[in-house]
Amino acid sequence: MRLLLFDIDGTLVSVERTASRAMLRRVVEDVFSIALPTTFEFQLGGKTDYQIMTEAAQMLDLPTSLVEEHREKIQTTLTAHTESLSNPVTMRLLDGVRALVESLAKRHDVALALLTGNLKTTAYLKLRPHGLDTHFPVGAFGCDHIDRAMLPPIALERANAHYTNFTVSGKKFSPENTLIIGDTLNDIRCAKAHGIKTLAVATGAVSAETLREAGAEFVVENFVDVRAITDIATNF
């Protein structure tokens, strides 16, 4: 059995850009009790939510310790704002995703899990409008560590604990039988940090050429060709 670790934003779901930025602005303003300049821009690209908040604090010349001090408030506020936007229009499912995920979920030779910079609560809120949340029983999330590169071992540990039909045979999920599926350079970096292969999809802000040059073992334009993606996912 092979473990497939899926990113969410830009990989499975496209979050409407204006709504996403507006949500982050509200969270920062609520948590830090400030008014953001109209020109303020968030730097995203596969980062964890707490990394985004920490970098925002740095750009605003605020102590980064505020992020840890307000960790619970950040989670509560971000979850509330995400829930208010959790609908099929704002959280648009990318082409081919439903067919791919539902097809893979029926197979007995792959296991599905998440590896995302989102908090656990917001990750499932983004998948729920499309009914895909139940296909990803475990994962590693932005609330587990600020550094995305630290998430793969957490995902592996949880997958091994959950998929007992595989691990009871004495086999384990490891970097060798795991594939990280994402759309950013950070997905590739965190995979390489642990010797895990990457299937990069050019549905986000990064071109297929750039993803390939960054070292992704497999690169596709989208998930429309379910048969081709399945072939990669079951034979890497």
Q: CA–CA separation, 120 vs 194, rounded Å?
A: 22
Question: Per-residue pLDDT averaged across 69-95, rounded?
Answer: 91
Placement of tokens 């959790």 in the chain: 86
- Identify the pLDDT of residue 41: 85
- At residue 72, the pLDDT reads 92
Would you list the domain boundaries of the chain?
2-15+89-235, 17-84
CA count, 13 A, side-chain hemisphere, 218: 20
Whether residue 31 contacts residue 71, with contact meaning beta carbons closer than 8 Å, is answered with no
pLDDT at 20: 77
> Using one digit for the tens of pLDDT, what is the confidence trace for 94-146?
999 999 999 999 999 999 999 999 999 999 999 999 999 999 999 999 999 99
- Mind listing the pLDDT tens digit for each residue in 189-232? 999 999 999 999 999 889 999 999 999 999 999 999 999 999 99
Confidence of residue 169 (pLDDT cuts 50, 70, 90): low
Q: In what order do the strands lie in the sheet with 197-201?
A: 139-140, 110-115, 2-6, 178-182, 197-201, 218-220
- Confidence (pLDDT) at 179: 98
| pLDDT reported for residue 26 | 87
Average pLDDT, the chain: 93
**pLDDT higher than threshold 80 for residue 17:** no
Statement: 2-15+89-235 belongs to CATH 3.40.50.1000: yes
If pLDDT is split at 50, 70 and 90, which confidence band does 51 have? very high
Report which of residues 161 and 167 the model is more confident about: 161
What pLDDT score was predicted for residue 16?
A: 80
Helix axes 49-59, 17-32, angle to 10 degrees: 70
Choice between 30 and 114, residue whose per-residue pLDDT is larger? 114
